[in-house]
Amino acid sequence: MNELPLSMLFGILALMLILSAFFAGSETSLMSLNRYRLRHLVKLKNPGAIKTHKLLQRPDRLLGLILLCNNFVNNFAASIATVIAIKMYANDESIIAVATGILTIVMLICSDVTPKTLAAIKPELLAFPAAWIYTPLLKILYPVVVFVNLFVNLLLRIVGVDVNKKAPDSLNSEELKSIITEAESLMPLRYQKMLLGILDLESATVEDIMTPRNEIVGIDLEDPIEEIIGQIKTSPHTQMAVYKKSIDRVIGFLHLRKVLVEVNQAHFDKQCIINLLSKPVFIPESTPVHTQMLNFKNEKIRIGLVVDEYGDVQGLVTLDDLLQEIVGELITDEVSAAQLQSDGSYLVDAGITIRELNRLTQWSLPTEGPKTLNGLIIEVIETIPEPGTSIDLHGYHLEVIKRNKNTVKLVKFLPKQ
């Protein structure tokens, strides 16, 4: 090598620096690729993506190949730099150390930091072309790579790592929620909330979204027929529970579209109502929302009563309630239960469910215990607060605005400082 002219030695050194930059940058780019985007491109039959995806099936072999080549190139570059230094300054014994220092700085800047930074910012720019080079190169150097990996895998097993057991390359629901939340620029806010609602179905039960027992509007057959007729004509609902004295003695559901045809007839009486009733459906309060949605679909019904372990009615749930978990409010002209004020505070109806409040405000109040805001407040302070009471509710500060005898009716959440 000493017989080669300086111009050729400098040319070889420059080539080694370029190859070192390629190996360093391609390593970073291949390891920085978005795996889900890569799979998408594979489905689209992108040739570079297909080769890259195949290489990444065995990252130990790929890294072994890259580092083998990179170390060879770096060592060869160091040898060339030493030869150049000796030829140019044969009488200076310190020139080798100087040459090593200069080469280290040049390689750090030009062959390491710069290509790796570029590869981290735009991984596909280098990863896909590199895959075309590494695929045949891996076949050529396969015996050497396997030999190196044999010792690498042995050392990893000593510390308890098995390279043949891949960690599942998948996302859990919380990680997927984070991705959807961060994708504000890629989809409308409404669709974003719909996707988050679908993911929440996994943990939600009918108890979380039901209309509470005290808010159920039904027909008591013990009431006078005139009062029942007036209730039917003015009801905003399409179906109503029919019971005797108590909702626990429900005898069926009345579809108002059927009864309105006969309600003005002279012969209309309570027996006409009973004849039009459909069989009541009872749903355990622990039933998951997604399960009940399938049950409604299979049984071709739209409404049911939620019962506890003792069979007592706790609330009512409809198909609209289940759909609302996904698409949000179905009736957009209703006044929201959580109204944002100009000063950043929220006026909130304490009867709102915790899940709905979290959805409207993007908060993270706990949903494992009480289902309504009123229940959560009472659980935290262990009494029914008077108006004007200030409460620290899991890091959210609120003031009680209104209450009746045994429940909180309206609160004001103060803006966060």
Whether 202 shows a pLDDT value over 80: the answer reads no
Calculate mean pLDDT across residues 18-34. Answer: 91
Calculate mean pLDDT across residues 77-88. Answer: 83
| Residue 2 pLDDT class (50, 70, 90 cuts) | low
Read off the pTM.
0.60
Whether 397 shows a pLDDT value over 60: the answer reads yes
How many angstroms from the chain centroid is the CA of residue 382? 34
Calculate mean pLDDT across residues 194-220. Answer: 84
Angle at 61 between CA 56 and CA 67, to 5 degrees: 105
* 163 φ, ψ (degrees, to nearest 5): -70, -20
**What is the rounded average pLDDT for all residues in the chain?**
86
CATH of 206-325, one of 1.20.810.10, 3.10.580.10, 3.40.50.2300, 3.40.30.10: 3.10.580.10
Most confident of 200-209, 260-269, 371-380: 371-380
pLDDT tens digits along 142-193: 898 888 888 888 888 888 777 666 655 667 777 777 777 777 777 777 777 7
For CATH 3.10.580.10, list the domain ranges present in the chain: 206-325
Q: Could you write out the DSSP letters of every residue in 200-261?
A: HTTT-BHHHHSEEGGG--EEETTS-HHHHHHHHHH---SEEEEEESEEEEEEEEEEHHHHTT
| Residue 236 pLDDT class (50, 70, 90 cuts) | confident
Calculate mean pLDDT across residues 42-63. Answer: 90
Q: Write the single-letter amino acid at 65.
A: L
Predicted pLDDT of residue 167 = 57
| Residue 80 pLDDT class (50, 70, 90 cuts) | confident
| Residue 357 pLDDT class (50, 70, 90 cuts) | confident
Calculate mean pLDDT across residues 321-346. Answer: 73
How many angstroms from the chain centroid is the CA of residue 21? 37
Predicted pLDDT of residue 92 = 62
| Residue 406 pLDDT class (50, 70, 90 cuts) | confident
**Which CATH class for the 338-413 domain?**
alpha beta
Q: Could you write out the DSSP letters of every residue in 85-119?
A: HHHH-TT-TTHHHHHHHHHHHHHHIIIIIHHHHHH
Predicted pLDDT of residue 332 = 45
Which of 57-61, 171-175, 343-347 has the weakest average pLDDT? Answer: 171-175
Beta strands in 287-395 (DSSP E): 303-307, 313-318, 338-340, 346-349, 390-393
Predicted pLDDT of residue 351 = 86
Return left, alpha or beta for 395; rule: phi > 0 is left, psi -120 to 50 is alpha, else beta: left
* 170 φ, ψ (degrees, to nearest 5): -140, 170
**Rounded to whole angstroms, how far apart are CA atoms 390 and 412?**
9
Strand order in the sheet with 239-244: 218-220, 239-244, 246-255
Predicted pLDDT of residue 172 = 74
Whether 95 shows a pLDDT value over 80: the answer reads no
| Residue 101 pLDDT class (50, 70, 90 cuts) | confident
Calculate mean pLDDT across residues 351-378. Answer: 86
Calculate mean pLDDT across residues 35-44. Answer: 88
Predicted pLDDT of residue 285 = 92
Whether 25 shows a pLDDT value over 60: the answer reads yes
Calculate mean pLDDT across residues 98-118. Answer: 87
Whether 333 shows a pLDDT value over 70: the answer reads no
For CATH 3.30.465.10, list the domain ranges present in the chain: 338-413
- 3 state DSSP class of 416: coil
Whether 88 shows a pLDDT value over 90: the answer reads no
Predicted pLDDT of residue 168 = 56
Predicted pLDDT of residue 331 = 47
